[in-house]
Amino acid sequence: MRVRSVESCMSRPFQLKAKEECMSQDQKDAAGQALINGALAGFVATIPMTIFMLTTQRFLPHGQRYELPPEIITKDLARRADVEQHMDKGQILGATTLSHFGYGAAMGALYGLLTKRASSPLVGTLRGVLFGLGVWVASYLGLLPLLRMAASGHREPGQRNLMMIVAHIVWGATLGLATDGLLQREESHIQG
């Protein structure tokens, strides 16, 4: 059985149809590729973000050099799952790294679904920066405080907040550039 195209579904707007029935295989393939491209770009973008966070943390005032949010969140989740006492420092570091890069990849996958190739590297970078700032706002002013995993961003010291905001700008800029690079590579592969 062949999947009906979106045009076929739109020709009969008053009939209810399953979403899958209205989506062509090409559209499904494109969405899957967008998820993969975004996840890969988000994972890669987490590298310079993490380096930036670890480097700039050392320059914060002494009272603000406490654990970075990925470690705070990981320890909180381990405590909630009643496994923190069974984890050594290396396991906490491994779980922190895995969760941080996993979250970066997940947010990148979302970005991949929401964006198309930019008209220029600058546009792609700016889109990524805006998305990165959106992730910071949604995470540090919304989701993390709501789940009681971290203090709300407005309760953090200013310099520490600035470090995290700039870290998300670094992540977003890299995400935008990497996603556009993957999309450009994909387009040239299809054309050539």
HEC string of the chain equals CCCCCHHHHHCCCCCCCCHHHHCCHHHHHHHHHHHHHHHHHHHHHHHHHHHHHHHHHCCCCHHHCCCCHHHHHHHHHHHHCCCHHHCCHHHHHHHHHHHHHHHHHHHHHHHHHHCCCCCCHHHHHHHHHHHHHHHHHHHHHHHHHHCCCCCCHHHCCHHHHHHHHHHHHHHHHHHHHHHHHHHHHHHHHHHC
Instruction: Determine, yes or no, domain membership for 161.
Output: yes
Which pLDDT tens digit goes with each residue over 46-61?
A: 999 999 999 999 999 9
Task: Indicate the residue type of 29.
Answer: D
| Count of domains observed in the chain | 1
Residue 95 included in any domain? yes
Q: Is residue 16 part of a domain?
A: no
pLDDT above 80 for 111: yes
Beta-carbon neighbour count of residue 30 at 10 Å?
A: 14
Q: Kindly state whether residue 154 falls inside one of the protein's structural domains.
A: yes
What is the pLDDT at residue 29?
Answer: 78
pLDDT tens for residues 76-100?
Answer: 999 999 999 999 999 999 999 999 9
Which residue range forms the structural domain that includes residue 168? 29-191
Residue 5 lies inside a defined structural domain of this protein: no
The model's pTM is 0.83
Q: Is residue 102 part of a domain?
A: yes
* CA 182 – CA 19 distance, rounded (Å): 28
Average pLDDT of span 157-163: 96
Report the C-alpha gap between 80 and 92 in whole angstroms. Answer: 14
